[in-house]
Amino acid sequence: MVQARAGSGDTVGIMVRLPEGLRDRIKAAAEEDGRSMNSEIVATLEEAYPAPEPDENSLENMINRAINDAGITDNNDPRLDEVIQATLDKWRIEVFIRPKKKD
């Protein structure tokens, strides 16, 4: 069961059944680390299941790099559309015209 918690837009609550004795081990580890059981569980899960690395070649990252490389810091910069369009064209070529061969 997954439940959204009031006032915590970026977290969800779940109910978990733990094997006998595991709760006590989690509680002991949490106390040793000076944190709540919830924080201990989240830290352990984050370590076991790290967030995926961002794809450096994603369109979003390519556009952001191109904007940074061009020194654009203002959304009203007249070069912005040109930089985005050039990056989009480059991405289209890399993705659709010259797909990389997988071994």
Question: SS3 letters for 74-92?
Answer: CCCCCCHHHHHHHHHHHHH
- Flag whether 66 is in a domain: yes
- Flag whether 26 is in a domain: yes
**The domain that contains 43 carries what CATH number?**
1.10.1220
CA distance 52 to 5: 25
pLDDT digits (tens, 9 = 90+) for 36-70: 999 999 999 999 998 887 777 788 889 999 999 99
Mean pLDDT of the chain: 86
The tally of domains found in the chain comes to: 2
Same domain? 6 vs 44: yes
Model pLDDT, residue 93: 86
- Flag whether 53 is in a domain: no
| Host domain of residue 10 | 2-48
- Flag whether 54 is in a domain: no
What is the pLDDT confidence band of residue 73, given thresholds at 50, 70 and 90? Answer: very high
What backbone torsions phi and psi does residue 82 show, to the nearest 5 degrees?
-65, -45
- Flag whether 74 is in a domain: yes
Handedness of CA 52, 56, 62, 65 (dihedral sign): positive
Same domain? 9 vs 40: yes
Could you tell me the pTM of the whole model? 0.49
pLDDT digits (tens, 9 = 90+) for 8-44: 568 888 999 999 999 999 999 999 999 999 999 999 9
